[in-house]
Structure 1
Amino acid sequence: MSAFRRGVRLAVDVGRARVGVARCDPDGMLAVPVETVARDDRSVARLAELAGEHGPIEIVVGLPLNMRGEDTPSTQDARAFAAELGAALPETPIRLVDERLSTVSAHTALRQSGRSQKKSRSIVDQVAAVVFLQHAIDTEKRLGTAPGEILAPGEE
């Protein structure tokens, strides 16, 4: 079993309208929200800027698989977005991780904190990114191996 890989990670929750971004500290103690990026022709460039600011050892992109663990159109969209991000940041590994139920968990947490779904819309993607990043960190610490898969260069 290998040790936890020390270093900041950025997490990206890819949605049709918005991209939620979260990060963790170098020791993987806590994942925190960073920002919500509009999903447009500047979103990959903004994520590249955030990567420059935070210096992550990798970027974790959530894969919205269905409950049977199969790809959906949203999964294919997230893979394509991850490939674009990988092309923009060839020196930064892109890791694809299962993010099933992270948005549901994010909505639940926000509702429990007293926020309506309408008021939560602008931050739910950040919170979903926090949820699956924290899960990925905890999984790596528990199992000694990073979850998910590394996106190979040129892969989509």
Structure 2
Amino acid sequence: MADKTKEAPVPEAIPETVPLLKRKSTLIIILSVVLIFLILISTITVVVLTHRPEPKEKKETDQIYTIIPMRDFLVNLVDYGGRRYLKVSLSLELENIAVKTEIETKDTILRNYIINILSSKTFDDIKSVEGKDNLRKAIILKCNFLLKSGKVLNVYFNDFIIQ
């Protein structure tokens, strides 16, 4: 029994160099992974920031449209008593330069169409912004009906006087 109560001899201590080597190798592996990760992130950032998209074809919005002024229009409005008149100065935004030549040759016909549209309106028809927009759309539709080489894209009112 005396032997059993005696403590077993303690084995010799494991040299401290083995855990130290394990710690150093683990630390080197972790630092290597972090370094590779940082290099990868830096490379991706540089590539993304310096990448320039290929130039795209010109869009229609990049085109410069031709705008031509029309001579002033002075018409009577359709009102009771015939005392109101409308004086309008407008410009046409054209799809291309070929339309400008066509408008110059068909100026009289275009003016006639526009005068008919303007003189068919009442004061109540054109006094609001919505009324002016409807008038603009009617002029565009009538002009595009006549033109063959392109379109009128928009009508701009330079002066709009109702009296």
TM normalised by structure 1 equals: 0.26
Hey, which of these two has a bigger chunk of strand by percent?
1
TM normalised by structure 2 equals: 0.25
* Max Rg structure: 2
